[in-house]
Amino acid sequence: MTTADAVRRRLGLGRLLPLGGAADGAWLTEQATDTVLRRAAAAVPGVVLGRLRLGLADPDSTARPVVPAPPSALPPGPLRIEADFAASALQPLPAAAAALRAALFTASVDLGLGVSEVDLRVTELLDSAAQAPVPAPPPGLRPVPASDPAGTAASAAPGVAYLTAVLGTAVHLAPDHVRVEVATASGYHPPDVVRAVREALTAALADGRPVAVLVTSVPA
């Protein structure tokens, strides 16, 4: 992969969203989140989701993570979903907005994200009960084989489909912390996978370094 390809891949992931609190040291890519939320929205009748953005609900209420955050990562804190949508004129707008809000909130909770607000804006009225197509997941990240004891331990943790290397290497060993990138397997809750990876790496390294986990892909 060329340097330009690597930069484009990193930009495509978007920002890194805090997965849990300051003590969890875990993040989820915005790209992976977008795919899951759009799939949830596509199941809401008469609604077509447009622009979707996640950010901090209150930048003043964030916490300092226990491990150094990866590049472009948001600090731990409550999140806000902001979204535009088109709705069918065949149903009341408040009902459509309520159904979409519930779908987005439920999907974000299932991912393990601490979403406290869902702000919606109607941008268009549709003449019929048009429905957005179910979004295809983004191109899959290339699995990275484990090449050291830390990678082997992480890849064997329950719920890990494979390791990835978007930010350079699958396992980044720094003097004061360890960071690992993983894609989760179908049927596993991302926070549970994060805990399993952290426990596996802590046991494998046995040197007390805190472990940061970046989830780069979640099955939609």
pLDDT at site 28: 97
pLDDT at site 4: 36
Q: Please name which of 11, 8, 6, 13 lies closest in space to residue 27, comparing C-alpha atoms.
A: 13
Residue 209 counted as domain residue: yes
Tokens coding 145:
């084989």
| Conformational region of residue 114, where left means phi above 0, alpha means psi within -120 to 50, and beta covers everything else | beta
Q: Please name which of 57, 17, 35, 27 lies closest in space to residue 193, comparing C-alpha atoms.
A: 27
Residues 15, 88, single domain; the answer is no
Tokens coding 33:
């989140």
Residue 76 counted as domain residue: yes
For strands 178-184 and 171-173, give the pairing. antiparallel
Residue with tokens 């989760």: 184
Residue with tokens 């990240």: 141
For residue 217, list its beta bridge partners. 183
pLDDT at site 138: 61
What's the structural domain count of the chain? 2
pLDDT in tens, 93-145: 999 999 999 999 999 999 999 999 999 999 998 876 556 666 665 665 789 98
Residue 77 domain boundaries: 37-126
Residues 148, 200, single domain; the answer is yes
pLDDT at site 3: 38
Q: Please name which of 57, 62, 58, 54 lies closest in space to residue 30, comparing C-alpha atoms.
A: 54
Residue 7 counted as domain residue: yes
Rounded Cα distance, 128 and 125, in Å? 9
Q: Please name which of 200, 133, 130 lies closest in space to residue 160, comparing C-alpha atoms.
A: 200
pLDDT at site 134: 62
Q: Please state the pTM of the whole predicted model.
A: 0.87
Q: Which of 72, 103, 126 is the last residue of a domain?
A: 126
Rounded Cα distance, 169 and 166, in Å? 7
Residue 213 counted as domain residue: yes
pLDDT at site 2: 41
CATH number at residue 77: 3.30.70.1350
Residues 165, 212, single domain; the answer is yes
Low-confidence ranges of the chain (pLDDT < 50): 1-8, 11
Residues 142, 205, single domain; the answer is yes
pLDDT at site 131: 63
pLDDT at site 6: 47
